[in-house]
Every structure is written in C-alpha cells, then in structure tokens.
C-alpha cells in the first residue's frame, strides 16, 4: 500500500505495518510524536518526505525513559528512511535495536531544537547482552546530516555492519562514531566539521575504517581492527 500524506501537523504515535510506503506529498508534513517500525513480521517499509519531532522532555531521566522519534526493532527488516527531518527524540532521534536488519537511511537530517541534557541521536543495539542483534543490524547511512545540538551517537552501536557514505557532521558534540561490542563501521567520503577524533572505542569492537573523509575532525581516515566487505555496488560522491 502507498499512503500519501497531505501537508499538516499530525500528533501522536504511528506504528507502521509490513508492505507500506508512506510519502509526504509536499513541504510541511510533520508528525509531533514518533514512528515505530517494530516486530519480526514487519518488513518492506518505506518512509519518505516528512518531518518527525519528538515531544519536549524536561530532565535527563524523563528523556531517557521517553520514546525515540523513530524506532526500528524487534526483528523488523528491509526498511528505507528517505528525505526525513528527525529532531528532538526524547531518548534518541532514530534508534535500531533488538535484531532490526537491512536498513537504509538516506537524505535525512538529525538535530535538536533545544538544549536538553539527553541529546543522543542514533543508537544501534541497546546493550552488550542484546543477543537478538548478533549477526543483524546491517545499516547504511548515506547523504545524511547530523547538526545542531547533537551531543553523541552519530551513530553509537554494537554488533552491526555500518556503512557511512557521503554524510555531513557538524555538531561540536562530545562523540561522533562510538564503535562498541562486535561492531564494524566504515565511513567514506564524509565531511566532519568537528573538533575531535571521529572514532570512540566503546569496548570490544571488530573495527573501523575511514576512507576519503575530509574536514576539521581528527583521525578521519584511520583504521583499527577488521571491518567487512560492502555487499553492493556503489559510486561515492566526491
């Protein structure tokens, strides 16, 4: 099913089932709330051309206990998020945990509009003991942007094979890529207007590799450990 959404502001939570494409028909399609793509039977989902803004939360604990602006998990797979504007997630802007798999995020902007304590944008797997995610979490982020007030998790993760391609990071945050347990991350032809190393070892990663990156960040094209063979053909932008 293809669901066309007219411009306007819609409040609440949207839970998306299998075999759905949801497309904003023009500028100004906004969800004040969250989107959930969750469940082992949920697959073949496309979300395009809309904005998602999480409700405001007032303290670190309240934000941490809140909802992600966009959540993918519990076995959901084959998901494409394209041309989205995602901000102010209470816990995270766009998290993928509990065995989510085969995800592409393209032409999407992540940011926060206010200075709350908990500004952690993109988490992949929620803990080192998340056995449902072992061998899963194949995720590509391409032509996307991490901007205002993002403090960390661009992304931060475990277990997955993560390909970052032609992205733009200009957050001034405390952490860019946090690479944790059994995770491998390749970042290539990205721009980092940051003031620190783009890599943080979060404990027992498989490894990381930077290729062709530019900007003011440090260790842009460093490598550590082993990564993975990218399973599709592509041509990076300059």
pLDDT tens digits for 203-234? 999 999 999 999 999 999 999 999 999 999 99
Residue 11 is predicted with a pLDDT of 98
| The pLDDT value given to residue 134 | 98
Residues annotated as catalytic are 153
Q: Pick the closest to residue 108 from 60, 77, 141, 76 (CA basis).
A: 141
The DSSP line for 23-71 is EE-STTEEEEEEEEEESTT-EEEEEEEEEEEPPP--SHHHHHTS--SEE
Determine if residue 25 is left, alpha or beta; phi over 0 gives left, psi from -120 to 50 gives alpha, anything else beta.
alpha
Here the tokens at position 88 are 């102010």
Report pLDDT digits (tens) over 109-147: 999 999 999 999 999 999 999 999 999 999 999 999 999
Quote the pLDDT of residue 193: 98
> Using CA atoms, how far apart are residues 3 and 233, in angstroms rounded to an integer?
30
Structure tokens at 180: 């944790």
pLDDT lower than 50: segments of the chain? none
């Amino acid at each position: 099913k293809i669901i066309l959404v007219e411009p306007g502001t819609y409040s609440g939570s949207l839970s998306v089932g299998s075999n759905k494409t949801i497309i904003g028909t023009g500028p100004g399609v906004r969800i004040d709330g969250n989107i959930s793509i969750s469940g082992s039977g949920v697959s073949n989902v496309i979300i395009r051309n809309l904005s998602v803004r999480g409700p405001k939360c007032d303290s670190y604990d309240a934000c941490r206990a809140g909802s992600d602006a966009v959540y993918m998990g519990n076995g959901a797979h084959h998901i494409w998020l394209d041309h989205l504007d995602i901000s102010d997630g209470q816990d995270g802007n766009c998290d993928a945990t509990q065995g989510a798999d085969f995800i592409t995020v393209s032409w999407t902007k992540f940011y926060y509009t206010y200075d709350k304590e908990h500004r952690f944008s993109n988490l992949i797997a929620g803990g080192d003991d998340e056995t449902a995610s072992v061998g899963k979490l194949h995720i590509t982020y391409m032509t996307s942007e991490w901007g205002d007030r993002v403090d960390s998790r661009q992304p931060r993760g475990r277990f997955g094979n993560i390909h970052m391609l032609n992205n733009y990071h200009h957050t001034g945050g405390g952490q860019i890529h946090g690479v944790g347990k059994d995770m491998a991350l390749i970042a290539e032809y990205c721009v980092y207007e940051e003031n620190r190393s783009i890599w943080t070892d979060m404990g027992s990663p498989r490894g990381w590799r930077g290729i062709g990156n530019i900007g003011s960040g440090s260790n842009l094209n460093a490598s550590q450990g082993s990564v993975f063979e990218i399973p599709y053909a592509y041509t990076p932008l300059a």
